[in-house]
């Protein structure tokens, strides 16, 4: 999968799939799957580190996840999420963050929002770094938005989000994530830009879909927003496996003789 393959897939009307991943063992499973590309998202701060939102994610934290994912998925296209404020400093510090991710094994970076980011996107693209945009509900704006809220509810907000998508394409983004916006708006954006739109809570008309791996596998406990579909009840299955292990140990059924050394 390359950046130009993605555009071809959009033109051919073939849907794209992206899944988040933060560690080597999940990456090995994704490597052997038909998933098109992997996002090392700043959601790692919540999913892997237990924070309430993505604000505590740092370049160092995510770079370690990128390295682990690259070791597990040597051939997949990996997008690394630039965390909160890591691309809002001076050009040198912004570029250091990007360099860290690309040298850790990423093929592209993602950054949230458009306002004030266009010239940096252009600079990255001119430097050989593919950039994915992310608009709509941008979780790094949780404090400004007053929570994780659906965006683009009124016509002014819808015009702004559509203009953001077009401006990010113009700046050189190869793709854009549309998070938690009305389906009709996502459909309008998808037809008005030539880059693939990847939706999460944005309806079926997007060119592709992304989900957090743990949400998709039912490993996120009671966290189940409307846009998540669980393809496995992983939490329940893991719980059952652990209960069986404990019972076997207590009943002296594990290990069997064949599972020991003579
Ligand atoms: O960090 C993340 O997981 C994301 C996806 C929700 C798109 O940005």
Asked if the model's pLDDT at residue 1 lies above 90, the reply is: no
Mean pLDDT, the chain, whole residue set: 97
What does the pLDDT look like over 112-121, one tens digit per residue? Answer: 999 999 999 9
Residue nearest to atom 8 of ligand 1 (CA): 41
Distance CA 89, CA 70 (A): 27
What does the pLDDT look like over 229-243, one tens digit per residue? Answer: 999 999 999 999 999
DSSP string, 189-222: HHHH-SSPEEEESS-TTSSEEEE-HHHHTT-STT
Domain boundaries, the chain: 3-231, 233-262
How close is the Cα of 41 to the center of ligand 1, in Å? 5
Q: Of 210, 154, 208, 212, which Cα lies nearest the Cα of 185?
A: 154
What does the pLDDT look like over 110-150, one tens digit per residue? Answer: 999 999 999 999 999 999 999 999 999 999 999 999 999 99
The fold adopted by the segment(s) 3-231 is TIM Barrel (3.20.20)
Catalytic positions, please? 179
What does the pLDDT look like over 194-203, one tens digit per residue? Answer: 999 999 999 9
Instruction: Mark 163-191 as b/e (b = at least 16 C-beta within 10 Å).
Output: ebbbbbbebbbbbbbbbbbbeebbbbbbe
Residue nearest to atom 2 of ligand 1 (CA): 41
Q: Of 24, 32, 1, which Cα lies nearest the Cα of 14?
A: 1
How close is the Cα of 81 to the center of ligand 1, in Å? 8
């Amino acid at each position: 999968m390359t950046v130009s393959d993605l555009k071809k897939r959009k033109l051919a009307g073939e849907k794209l799939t992206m899944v988040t991943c933060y560690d080597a063992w999940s990456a090995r499973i994704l490597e052997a799957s038909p998933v098109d590309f992997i996002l090392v998202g700043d959601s790692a701060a919540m999913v892997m580190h237990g924070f309430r939102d993505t604000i505590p994610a740092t370049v160092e934290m995510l770079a370690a996840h990128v390295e682990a994912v690259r070791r597990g998925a040597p051939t997949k296209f990996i997008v690394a999420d630039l965390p909160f404020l890591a691309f809002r400093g001076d050009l040198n510090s912004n570029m250091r963050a990007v360099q860290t991710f690309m040298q850790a094994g990423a093929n592209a970076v993602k950054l949230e929002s458009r306002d004030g980011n266009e010239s940096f996107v252009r600079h990255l693209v001119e430097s050989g770094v593919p950039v994915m945009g992310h608009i709509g509900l941008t979780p790094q704006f949780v404090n400004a938005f007053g929570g994780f809220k659906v965006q683009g509810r009124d016509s002014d907000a819808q015009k702004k989000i559509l203009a953001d998508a077009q401006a990010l394409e113009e700046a050189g983004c190869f793709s854009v994530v549309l998070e938690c916006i009305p389906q009709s708006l996502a459909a309008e954006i998808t037809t008005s830009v030539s880059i693939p739109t990847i939706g999460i809570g944005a309806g079926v008309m997007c060119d592709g879909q992304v989900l957090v791996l743990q949400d998709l596998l039912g490993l996120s406990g009671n966290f189940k927003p409307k846009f998540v579909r669980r393809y496995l009840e992983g939490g329940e299955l893991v719980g059952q496996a652990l209960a069986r292990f404990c019972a076997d140990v207590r009943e002296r059924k594990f290990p069997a003789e064949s599972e020991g050394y003579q």
